[in-house]
Amino acid sequence: MFDYLIVGAGFAGSVIAERLASQKNAKVLVVEKRNHIGGNCYDYKDENNILIHKYGPHLFHTNNKEVVDYLSNFTDWDIYSHEVLAYIDGKKVPIPFNFNTLYEVFPLLKAKALEEKLLKYYDYNSKVPILELKKTTDKDLQFLADFIYEKIFLNYTAKQWGMKPEEMDGAVTARVPVFIGRDNRYFNDSYQMIPKNGYTSMINSMLDHKNIKIMLNTDFKEICELKEKDFYLFGSKFDGKVIYTGQIDELFEYKFGELPYRSVDMKFETVEKEFYQEKATVNYPNDYDFTRITEFKHIHPTNSPKTTILKEYPQEYIIGQNTPYYPIFTNENQEKYSKYLEHSQEFKSLVMVGRLAEYKYYDMDDIVERALEVFEKEVR
């Protein structure tokens, strides 16, 4: 009845489902445990007629034209450059920390001296990970590195991840570098935009194909069983391929132990004013229990006398109680994941793809690129 079973209707599963249905004329069953498609990119209009992102702000940015061209088959775009402020010592300043921030937080002569030092050691418009800057032997830059580390990174990382930056994988701390320049945009990619009608609309267009059947509110294990090395779908042996985008440890009954994640308690609020803050996102590294506030009217302009904001409170992921958002990158966790990966390779009909299945942080463009690659190399 079906040639492929895809577990999860987020970006990874939806892209592969669309490619299989449209390019191979394959019959695809997409199973999703939530009551909606789109994964963590799911968005919808709230009671204020504002398009909000249920699982936190998702801002599309990429240098990959192939990804843009592919997604443009399913959506029109609005150009959008994301800017973020950080609340530091009672003042909102641009981040990533750049030359504009420098002049906001230091007296003019001190800022000018630090700018000259940065340009002596680093190229203009380059990015420097904070932990790299902390290794400098220049006393002025040591002072700057300590200031940025303590005011922007240390407490934010402790709230977001429950650990110090030094305990994290370098790929995580490098995501918000020090920027040697005056560009206030949070991202520097060539393409920065959002789907005109939202992510859910775009993914719905992907999945709108006669060969694709979607089952929402359905746990994978309600309809599929793993016996030895074979999958059984609706009680019968399944001869097609299974593309799995869920948690790899859950698939294998946590046989090597749980893979830890960070979760976030998303608190939406309606504010009785046209706008709440200056930019879409303001980070709070050192004050309050939440990490940031996002105001969605900045992302999706809407005529409304009210506005909707989102406060994010990071928390430990607990199975069955909240949503796994971010894999926690430590050597111990990577070793545990490697055991699951090795075990998964014993199943010839199984393909693992996505943040949860690969225990890896993917931006949206990265996961689209990865899904297209998997389609070309592993499931065609």
User: Hey, what are 255's tokens?
Assistant: 């046989």
Asked if 278 contacts 357 with a C-beta cutoff of 8 angstroms, the reply is no
Rounded to whole angstroms, how far apart are CA atoms 93 and 86? 5
Q: What is the mean pLDDT of residues 70-93?
A: 97
pLDDT tens figures, 216-240: 999 999 999 999 899 999 999 999 9
The amino acid sitting at 66 is E
**Which residue from 210, 276, 245, 262 is spatially nearest to 350, judged by alpha carbons?**
245
Q: Which helix (H) or strand (E) holds 247?
A: none
pTM above 0.95, yes or no: no
pLDDT tens figures, 103-159: 999 999 999 999 999 999 999 999 999 889 989 999 999 999 999 999 998 889 889
Q: What share of the chain is helix, strand, coil (3-state, %, to 5)?
A: 35, 25, 40
Enter the DSSP assignment of 152. Answer: I
Q: Is the backbone of residue 190 left (phi > 0), alpha (psi -120 to 50) or beta? A: alpha
pLDDT tens figures, 12-27: 999 999 999 999 999 9
- CB atoms under 10 Å from CB of 334, counted, come to 16
pLDDT at 171: 63
pLDDT at 154: 86
pLDDT at 239: 94
Residue 296 banded pLDDT, cuts 50, 70, 90:
very high
User: Hey, what are 165's tokens?
Assistant: 């930056």
Instruction: Report the half-sphere exposure of 242 (CA within 13 A, side-chain side).
Output: 28
User: Which position has the token pair 């294990």?
Assistant: 221
**Surface-to-core class of residue 323, CB atoms within 10 Å of its CB (0-12 exposed, 13-18 middle, 19+ buried):** middle
**Which residue from 306, 283, 284, 286 is spatially nearest to 296, judged by alpha carbons?**
306
pLDDT at 52: 98
Q: What does the mean pLDDT of the chain come to?
A: 95
Residue 330 banded pLDDT, cuts 50, 70, 90:
confident
Q: Tell me the sheet residues that pair with 11.
A: none
Q: What is 264-291 written as a DSSP string?
A: EEEEEEEESSS-SSSSSEEE-SSSSS-S
Which comes out higher in pLDDT, residue 338 or 157? Answer: 338
Enter the DSSP assignment of 150. Answer: I
Rounded to whole angstroms, how far apart are CA atoms 36 and 122? 46
